[in-house]
């Protein structure tokens, strides 16, 4: 519990100074003094239990699809579409071996698992066209929703998270979105707990490996491109208390799961205290994003600064 309070007290001082991101200070030239944005928070109250580089811009990768889901859920609730509305999927993605008959359609309810569990680009774009009439209009709706929710450091260039310049978020903004999904659309929680989806004769698994492995895990989304590293938004509920964790920029899928598990365990071990630093009181972003491609997908050895997620002790670095 001590390391949580240390991180929060440090963050409070930094917020008061409004000079640097939460956790540790940033080095010159916008490069992190210690990389790996991380955040642990109470999903109900927004209280921060641990924050490290929480307002440093980062590439979200497929975490983007959480906002695609939010916009879709909002469209369902306002009556623009229904769960039974047909989605024109087309021929799928032959490059992935997902060849579908021309003219294939699914319902919105059938498409959402392809977006959130299977994380398929073509399904996300097809859903966007159904919701908003075009991919561009859907992305515009995503950005409008981000502004309305107070995700001030997030900008979407596409609906699926493939790397693009200017397509950024922060750990803090992902926590805001996570809380909004839980608060505004609890009736669709089931879509974040699906562990695999069958399509075109394939079983496409959910890469959020907290599900089925960490007791109480119930969301939300993984993401990966070379430029972002391995990202994860995880949630878990125990004894009526739901915590969330954001891990950005891990060097492998195994590492992001290990970091998320460790942070959630520590969070549940820490008893709730008096209201302290919250997601809403974090300062705006000043730095980032960091391009992780040379280290994650290239052969460049990462500098010592690009390890750790702000914890008091070194975290294990499992092999991929």
- Residues with catalytic roles: 62, 65, 119
- Strand partners of residue 250: 230
Distance separating alpha carbons of residues 204 and 187, to the nearest angstrom: 24
What is the rounded CA–CA span in Å between residue 123 and residue 106? 10
Residue 128 CB partners (closer than 8 Å, separation 6+)? 68, 134, 135, 137, 138, 139, 159
Which residues, 6 or more positions from 91, have their beta carbon under 8 angstroms from its beta carbon? 99, 100, 101, 102, 104
- DSSP sequence for 304-319: GGG---S-SSPPP---
77: its two tokens: 């609730």
Q: Do residues 150 and 170 make contact, with C-beta atoms less than 8 angstroms apart?
A: no
Distance CA(192)–CA(115), nearest Å, equals 10
The label of the residue with tokens 């399509």 reads 199
Helix segments in the chain, DSSP class H: 2-17, 64-77, 108-116, 121-132, 135-149, 171-184, 253-269, 293-296
């Amino acid at each position: 519990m001590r390391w949580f309070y240390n991180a929060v007290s440090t963050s409070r001082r930094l917020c008061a100074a409004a000079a640097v991101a939460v956790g540790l200070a940033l080095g010159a030239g916008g490069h992190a003094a210690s990389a790996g944005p991380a955040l642990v928070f109470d999903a109900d109250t927004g209280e921060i239990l641990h924050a490290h580089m929480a307002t440093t811009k980062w590439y979200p990768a497929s975490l983007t699809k959480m906002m695609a889901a939010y916009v879709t859920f909002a469209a369902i609730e306002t009556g623009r579409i229904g769960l039974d509305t047909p989605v024109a999927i087309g021929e799928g993605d032959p490059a992935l071996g997902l060849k579908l008959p021309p003219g294939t359609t699914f319902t919105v309810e059938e498409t959402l698992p392809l977006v959130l569990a299977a994380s398929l680009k073509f399904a996300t774009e097809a859903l966007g066209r159904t919701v908003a009439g075009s991919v561009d209009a859907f992305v515009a709706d995503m950005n409008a929703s981000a502004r309305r929710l107070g995700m001030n450091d997030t900008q979407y260039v596409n609906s699926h998270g493939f790397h693009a310049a200017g397509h950024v978020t922060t750990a803090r903004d992902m926590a805001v979105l996570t809380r909004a999904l839980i608060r505004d659309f609890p009736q669709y929680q089931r879509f974040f707990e699906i562990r695999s989806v069958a399509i075109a004769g394939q079983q496409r698994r959910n890469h959020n490996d907290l599900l089925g492995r960490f007791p109480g895990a119930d969301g939300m989304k993984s993401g990966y491109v070379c430029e972002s590293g391995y990202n994860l938004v995880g949630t878990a509920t125990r004894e009526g208390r739901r915590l969330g964790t954001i891990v950005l920029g891990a060097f492998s899928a195994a590492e992001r799961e290990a970091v998320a598990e460790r942070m959630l365990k520590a969070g549940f071990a820490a008893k709730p205290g008096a209201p302290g630093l919250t997601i809403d009181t974090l300062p705006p972003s000043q730095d980032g994003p960091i391009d992780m491609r040379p280290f994650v997908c290239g052969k460049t050895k990462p500098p010592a600064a690009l390890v750790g997620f702000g914890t008091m002790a070194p975290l294990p670095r499992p092999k991929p």
